[in-house]
Amino acid sequence: MNVVVAKTGTGRALGDAFAVARDRLPGKGAISDLRRQAFEAYERMGLPHRRIEDWKYTDLRALMREVLPLAPQPDATALDRAAGTAKAQAIEGVRRLVLVDGVFAPDLSDLAGLQKGLTIRPLRDVLEAGDALSGQAFTADSSNPMIALNAALATDGVVIEVANGTVLTQPLQIVHIASAAAPGAIVTRSLLRLGRDAVATLVESYLAADGATAYQAHDALVVAIGDNARLDHVRLVEDATGAFNISSATVSLGAHAHFNTFGMTTGAHVSRYQLTVAFAGEGSKVETNGVNLINGKQHADTTLLLDHAVPHCDSREIFRAVVDDRAHSVFQGRIIVRPHAQKTDAKMMTRALLLSDEAEADNKPELEIFADDVTCGHGATTGALDENLLFYMRARGLPEKEAQALLIQAFVGEAIETIASDTLREVAIAAARRWLEARA
């Protein structure tokens, strides 16, 4: 059967999924060799498990158990379902780039009238042409099994280039839509290159069409931000309740660059987002903010690594989790300050709100400081809703669920307010309200 089986200590052999899938994977020559090497790296490690420190709280051997075969290429019916989902979740004023079951869908995407200095191409076309960007798109961490697996099996994605000095007037949105009713793996990889003095806003949305349930989404985003450039990034995970979403992002910043990112997870049965940010130029600033809103038996993991390798850089991390029923939220935030990164200013705060006795939140903030002239700090708190505030609001006529909703909105508001765009901030607020209304 065309299934990748999780490698275990008994040496259980992997299936032949990679060999079967190679015919439909774009890229020849060096890319084909890189895919083979990446799969061999995954084969050596297998699915990550709790004995690996970074995966201590998200044991994929227990949670996922196996990697499904690639989802079939979308047919006309699948594209019609995806079109309905994309239309229902459309954001006004945003240029939409749609991937359906891991394949770029030009007919559902807004490619006309591109602003001068903006280039958008499907990853498949870049790989088939042997473009110089192919190698940059496939930069991978061979020590991370899920990133290696993504490099081996990625079927398509989007390659976006913003030229030096270009200020995009319209946000870009990469929309990942799962349409297949049968279980399958959706493996995508995208590249964003932001030139010197450029400014852009990128939105990533993960959605499920009607009928799509037990699929696996494996996505990777590689970002290069040039000197004096700014990227605002918003990531919204609203996958089907039976889905798995394992995603990663690798960001490199030039000098005096600014990266502001916000992520919200309300969907997927199991999700993990891995973000690695490398400070490659002095005077840069990073703001990473996130919210998990989960219930039932959901498991949501946010793992961040900020690597301060040069002096005079700032970073801020704000993370909030609201956990109900038997759900499990994980936050792992790690800040490294290298010996030459003097004058670093880095702070991290994570807070979790537990709405039931069986809810669980694991917060693991870490600092590794090898420089002596820095300002760094971190904190973590976990608690329940304030009973006094609830009593106060209910005494004034508010129903219990409505009072709880207002307190929850206030709790996550600090993170949501960091979104620079008014429109995108309202989109995030609307996603939070949908979660709260479904809970009522």
pLDDT in tens, 54-93: 999 999 999 998 898 899 999 999 999 999 999 999 999 9
Q: pLDDT band at residue 244, thresholds of 50, 70 and 90?
A: very high
Helices marked H in 316-399 — which ranges? Answer: 387-395
Res 10 pLDDT > 50:
no
User: How many CA atoms are closer than 13 Å to the CA of 292, on its beta-carbon side?
Assistant: 36
Q: Are 379 and 348 in contact (CB under 8 A)?
A: yes
Q: Report strand pairing: 345-354 vs 375-383.
A: parallel
Instruction: State residue 14's pLDDT score.
Output: 40
On whether the CB atoms of residues 168 and 70 are closer than 8 A, the answer is no
Mean pLDDT of the chain: 92
Q: What is the spatial distance between Cα 193 and Cα 147, in angstroms, rounded to a whole number?
A: 19
Q: Give tens-digit pLDDT for 84-138.
A: 999 999 999 999 999 999 999 999 999 999 999 999 999 999 999 888 788 778 7
Higher pLDDT, 335 or 2: 335
* Tens of pLDDT, residues 353-396: 999 999 999 999 999 999 999 999 999 999 999 889 888 888 88
Q: What percent of the chain has pLDDT over 90?
A: 77
Minimal CA–CA distance to 74: which of 88, 90, 86, 60?
86
- Average pLDDT, integer, range 286-314: 97
Count, residues in the chain: 440
Residue at 84: amino acid letter: G
pTM for this predicted structure: 0.94
Query: Which of 120, 261, 124 has the alpha carbon at shortest distance from 203?
Result: 261
Residue 140 has pLDDT above 80, yes or no: no
Is 70 exceeded by the pLDDT of residue 216?
A: yes
Which of 7-11, 163-167, 233-237, 312-316 is the least confident region?
7-11
Question: Is the pLDDT assigned to residue 314 strictly greater than 90?
Answer: yes
**Mean pLDDT across 191-202:** 98
Is pLDDT at 141 greater than 80 in this prediction? no
Q: What pLDDT is attached to residue 397?
A: 85
Distances (CA, A) of 329 to 60, 70, 170, 181, 271: 15, 28, 34, 28, 10
Confidence band of 440 (pLDDT split at 50, 70, 90): low
